[in-house]
Amino acid sequence: MTLRIAVPNKGSLSQAATDILRESGYRQRSDSKELALVDSENDVEFFYLRPRDIALYVGEGTLDVGITGRDLLLDSGAKAEEVMNLGFGRSRFHFAGPVGRYSSLQDLDGLRIATSYVGVVEDYLFRHGIDATVTRLDGAVETSIQLGVADVIADVVETGSTLRAAGLETFGEVILDSQAVLITRGGEVPDDFEIFHRRIEGVLVARSFVMMDYDIEERHLERASELAPGREGPTISPLGKKGWVAVRVMVPRAGSQRLMDDLYSIGARAILLTDIHACRL
Ligand SMILES: Nc1ncnc2c1ncn2[C@@H]1O[C@H](COP(=O)(O)OP(=O)(O)OP(=O)(O)O)[C@@H](O)[C@H]1O
Ligand SMILES: O=P(O)(O)OC[C@H]1O[C@H](OP(=O)(O)OP(=O)(O)O)[C@H](O)[C@@H]1O
Ligand SMILES: [Mg+2]
């Protein structure tokens, strides 16, 4: 059975989603008007859908896998489950109001809240025992305060520049931290899903790790391995030079320059860093 996968067709998640699929070796559409694409070599079919609708298709079992935002998944109330974080499309969901006017959750009682995420907001208000009126808007929710349709908004904040431009600021705690996630219906998943999952995971690991090679005198090896233990221990090979070994180890990309400095200072030489394009761990 062909694995059927939902991919965001537009918006903040679309480009990064197709990038990760391409890097994982799947065919992707070349024209943004294409609504579906069969990758027969890998026996998968991609459907390009509104990210807001993706959880629904997956929750209903119409499609096997989807890429969407955690906030959109929760907002939909669909019976789909998160399988893994994808590391892009990060955002925070917040209440916001005119600068200086509101400071805490309690201020929300009796107010009118505009949002595109009614499910998330109503659930949050219910859990905190707050009685407020929620109005659904499709977008540009920031403007609703100025136009007198709402007192406060609840919206996605990424850089915060849209809020600042509208003279608004967040208040209260973060309602929800979101990023793009891989979702399935949960329970039994098609056999082919394992391969798809492993490929995506391989790309994510390859993005966050680099391969480090260096030469070092054997007597310093223990200290060097403490600095860079690798995932299952470093690979150690003999070198022509007596008493020296060559070491190969996978290290987190973040902090890898610092690690090179530290290894150098304990005697490592010919330290090389190379990108990993994909892997299976
Ligand atoms: N700056 C951002 N604006 C909106 N959504 C963002 C942003 N950064 C990350 N996201 C995430 O992207 C998803 C929303 O994507 P969606 O395509 O529905 O909206 P959008 O990017 O605002 O597109 P549009 O409003 O143009 O339809 C959510 O999971 C949200 O958390
Ligand atoms: O914190 P920022 O980096 O400014 O990003 C957040 C803003 O971006 C999104 O709007 P979008 O551009 O998608 O327009 P929309 O309101 O019409 O959806 C979101 O709804 C916020 O308004
Ligand atoms: Mg938007």
- 96 beta partners: 153, 170
Residue ranges of alpha helices (H) inside the chain are: 14-23, 51-60, 70-76, 118-127, 143-146, 161-165, 192-208, 221-227, 256-265
- Let me know if 31 is exposed, middle or buried by CB neighbors in 10 A (0-12, 13-18, 19+): exposed
* Neighbouring residues of 70: CB distance < 8 A, sequence distance ≥ 6: 82, 176, 177, 178, 179, 180, 181
The answer to whether 52 and 76 have CB atoms below 8 angstroms apart is yes
Name the nearest CA neighbour of 182 among 158, 163, 199.
199
Whole-number pLDDT of residue 190: 84
**Residue 32's pLDDT is what?**
94
Distance 261 CA to ligand 3 centre (A): 43
Return averaged pLDDT per consecutive 10 residues of the chain, 281 residues in all. Answer: 96 98 97 97 98 97 97 97 97 98 95 98 97 97 97 98 97 97 90 94 96 98 96 92 97 97 98 94 84
* CA 134/CA 130 separation, integer angstroms: 11
**83 and 221 both lie in a single domain:** no
Confidence at residue 232, expressed as pLDDT on a 0 to 100 scale: 85
Ligand 2 centroid to 50 CA: how many Å?
Answer: 16
**Domain limits at 267?**
210-275
Distance 61 CA to ligand 3 centre (A): 26
* 271 CA to centre of own chain: 31
Residue 11 alpha carbon to ligand 3 centre in Å: 7
Minimum-distance ligand 1 atom for the alpha carbon of 180: 29
Atom of ligand 2 nearest to the CA of 140: 16
| Ligand 1 pocket member 69 (CB < 6 A) | yes
CATH number at residue 233: 3.30.70.120
CA-nearest residue, atom 5 of ligand 2: 158
Closest ligand relative to 52 C-alpha? 1
Domain total of the chain: 3
Rg from Cα positions in the chain: 24
Domain end residue (candidates: 133, 157, 178): 178
- Specify whether 80 is located in the same domain as 96: no
For tokens 């391409």, the residue is 22
Residue 202 lies in a domain: no
> 67 in ligand 1 pocket by Cβ < 6 Å?
no
Q: What is the largest CA-CA distance in the chain?
A: 79
